[in-house]
Amino acid sequence: MNQYITGTAIRELREKKKMTQLQLAELLKVSDKTVSKWETAKGYPDITLLEPIAKAFGISLPELLSGNRIRNANVSANMLRSKFYVCPVCGNAIHSMGEAVIHCHGVQLLPAEAEQTDENHMAFIERVEDEYYVRIDHEMTRTHYISFMAAVSSDRCQMVKLYPEGEAEARFKICGVRRICFYCNRDGLFSQDVVKGIDDKESGYDDTQERRELEQAADMLFG
Q: In terms of domains, do 131 and 52 share one?
A: no
Q: In terms of domains, do 31 and 132 share one?
A: no
Q: In terms of domains, do 194 and 124 share one?
A: yes
Identify the pLDDT of residue 136.
94
Identify the pLDDT of residue 218.
52
Identify the pLDDT of residue 2.
46
**Dihedral sign computed on CA atoms, order 192, 195, 198, 199:** positive
Q: In terms of domains, do 147 and 62 share one?
A: no
Q: In terms of domains, do 122 and 177 share one?
A: yes
The rounded distance, in Å, linking the Cα atoms of 103 and 109 is: 6
The rounded distance, in Å, linking the Cα atoms of 86 and 186 is: 12
Backbone angles phi, psi at 6, to 5 degrees: -100, 160
Residues of the chain with pLDDT under 70: 1-3, 66-77, 196-198, 200-223
Identify the pLDDT of residue 203.
62
Burial class, 24, CB count within 10 angstroms (exposed 0-12 / middle 13-18 / buried 19+): buried
Identify the pLDDT of residue 190.
94
35: CATH: 1.10.260.40
Q: In terms of domains, do 118 and 212 share one?
A: yes
**Structural domain includes residue 92:** no
Residue that is last in its domain, among 42, 66, 90: 66
Name the nearest CA neighbour of 168 among 179, 180, 152.
Answer: 180
Contacts of 60 (CB under 8 A, 6+ apart): 54, 70, 101
Q: In terms of domains, do 206 and 124 share one?
A: yes
Parallel, antiparallel, or unpaired for β 107-109 and 102-104? antiparallel
The answer to whether the CB of 25 falls within 8 A of the CB of 34 is yes
The rounded distance, in Å, linking the Cα atoms of 145 and 98 is: 26
Q: In terms of domains, do 61 and 117 share one?
A: no
Q: In terms of domains, do 214 and 119 share one?
A: yes
**Structural domain includes residue 72:** no
**Structural domain includes residue 94:** no
Name the β-bridge partners of 191.
116, 181
The answer to whether the CB of 126 falls within 8 A of the CB of 207 is no
Identify the pLDDT of residue 44.
85
Identify the pLDDT of residue 104.
87
Expressed as residue numbers, the domain containing 182 is 113-222
Q: In terms of domains, do 126 and 50 share one?
A: no
Q: Kindly give the residue spans of alpha helices, DSSP state H, lying in the chain.
A: 7-16, 21-28, 32-39, 50-57, 61-66, 208-222
155: CATH: 2.60.40.730
Q: In terms of domains, do 119 and 60 share one?
A: no
Q: In terms of domains, do 140 and 52 share one?
A: no
First vs last C-alpha separation in the chain? 49
What angle is formed at CA 61 by the lines to CA 56 and CA 66, rounded to 5 degrees? 110
How many domains does the structure of the chain reveal?
Answer: 2
- No. of helices (H) and no. of strands (E), the chain: 6, 12
pLDDT digits (tens, 9 = 90+) for 101-138: 788 887 878 889 899 888 889 899 999 999 999 999 99
pTM for the model: 0.65
